[in-house]
Amino acid sequence: MSITVRAPAKVNLVLGVGPVREDGYHPLDTVYQAISLYDDVTVSNAGAWSVTVRPVGAVDCSEVPLDEDNIAIRAGRMLTEHHGIDRRAAIAISKGIPVAGGMAGGSADAAATLVALDRLWDLQTTDEDLLAIAARLGSDVPFALIGGTAHGTGHGELVEPVVDNGTWWWVVVPNAEGLSTAVVYGAFDEAEDIQRGSGTEAIRAALESGDLDACADALANDLQAVALDLRSDLRSTQAALEDAGAVATLLSGSGPTFLGLVADQDEAHRVREQLLEGGVPGVLVATGPVAGTHVVDYV
């Protein structure tokens, strides 16, 4: 028997980052939105842990580890430890979420693996325990479980759904060269005179109203200035999105993926075409909010 579970990418509509804490984490005040780029994770019983990855479309999977460093295997092991059982699985990832792009693809795989193995082995893990295991795996993993639109606090792992009355359309511009999350946070810690601790009140009101311009005005990412300083080539991506008519642009998480917010689906495809014609490769279209981690197939 095998089970396939789908998990979405995330964008941070607002990413407010406070000064680094003594435990090394940064306090976050963020609003996550799950968008329609997905990884599908298929699990089946096996004598040893293994992971394989296959790209969807043009996603570059060359940096995804195929050993115990893969977060999907770490998730599987953590679930077996939680239940005190000795079982293993083969994990096959079909990857539609750009790798190392600030869209939490690894976190999606971890969340999908937890749900898939819970079903495969009929473990009946409670939602509370799943969220706790997810939080130990990574700051973005609990949100990948719940999806939709949510307020994230702590270091991102404490998630509460928020009202979102819009259907938002995004033009997503991945970058061939990854940008390390640790490097971006390091530069953020050393930077002077930058915005820290952006609040989420304005974006939450905008989401409730469903108004595009209010949402566009409220988008904010405290990491964007340092990421643009580290990678000045991203400025041309941002400018290309603006020139093509995006209502607002935003760095996704710690980057390097850039997002353009647009009015509707037709506009999203028009902007995508314009960017592709202008020589920007790999441009994707996505909508949000979408569901969190869910089962799509039992075979």
Do the beta carbons of residue 72 and residue 51 sit within 8 Å?
Answer: yes
Q: Is 10 marked active-site? A: yes
Nearer to ligand ATP, 222 or 267 (CB): 222
For ligand ATP, the binding residue among 8, 32, 38, 109 (CB under 6 A) is 109
Q: Quote the least distance from Cβ 53 to ligand ATP, whole Å.
A: 7
Q: Report d(CA 64, CA 178) in Å as an integer.
A: 12
Q: Report d(CA 11, CA 134) in Å as an integer.
A: 18
- Is 136 a binding residue for ligand ATP by CB under 6 A? The answer is no
- Is 152 a binding residue for ligand ATP by CB under 6 A? The answer is no
Q: Which range in 97-105, 186-194, 210-218, 266-274 contacts ligand ATP by CB under 6 A?
A: 97-105
Nearer to ligand ATP, 37 or 103 (CB): 103
Convert residues 21-60 into a mask of x (bound to ligand ATP by CB under 6 A) and - (unbound).
Answer: ----------------------------------------
For ligand ATP, the binding residue among 15, 35, 103, 133 (CB under 6 A) is 103
Please identify the residue of the shown chain whose CB is closest to the bound ligand ATP: 106
Q: Is 140 marked active-site? A: yes
Do the beta carbons of residue 58 and residue 173 sit within 8 Å?
Answer: no
- Is 284 a binding residue for ligand ATP by CB under 6 A? The answer is no
Q: Report d(CA 186, CA 172) in Å as an integer.
A: 25
Q: Amino acid identity, residue 135?
A: A
> How many CA atoms does the CB half-sphere of 133 hold within 13 Å?
26
For ligand ATP, the binding residue among 11, 13, 64, 228 (CB under 6 A) is 64
Q: Which range in 23-31, 67-75, 268-276, 278-286 contacts ligand ATP by CB under 6 A?
A: 67-75
- Is 99 a binding residue for ligand ATP by CB under 6 A? The answer is yes
Q: Which range in 17-25, 29-37, 96-104, 260-268 contacts ligand ATP by CB under 6 A?
A: 96-104
Query: Starting at the edge strand that comes first in sequence, how are the strands of the sheet with 168-173 ordered?
Result: 248-251, 258-262, 168-173, 284-288
- Give the closest residue to 10 by CA, choosing from 96, 105, 95, 75: 105
**Which tokens sit at 144?**
């990948």
Residue whose entry in the numeric block shows the structure tokens 């430890």: 81
Q: How far is CA 220 from the centre of its chain?
A: 16
Do the beta carbons of residue 163 and residue 33 sit within 8 Å?
Answer: no
21 class by beta-carbon count within 10 Å (0-12 exposed, 13-18 middle, 19+ buried): exposed
For ligand ATP, the binding residue among 7, 31, 104, 215 (CB under 6 A) is 104
Q: Report d(CA 205, CA 218) in Å as an integer.
A: 9
Backbone φ, ψ for residue 215 (5° rounding): -65, -45
Q: List, in sequence order, the alpha helices (H) in 84-211.
A: 105-120, 127-137, 141-146, 181-190, 201-209
**Which tokens sit at 267?**
């506009």
Give the active site residue among 29, 39, 118, 140: 140
Q: Which range in 93-101, 119-127, 160-168, 206-214 contacts ligand ATP by CB under 6 A?
A: 93-101
Q: Quote the least distance from Cβ 205 to ligand ATP, whole Å.
A: 27
Positions 220 through 259 that interact with ligand ATP (CB under 6 A)? 253-254
Nearer to ligand ATP, 65 or 161 (CB): 65
Catalytic positions, written as ranges:
10, 140
Residues that bind ligand ATP (CB under 6 A): 63-65, 69-72, 93, 99-107, 109, 140, 178, 181, 253-254
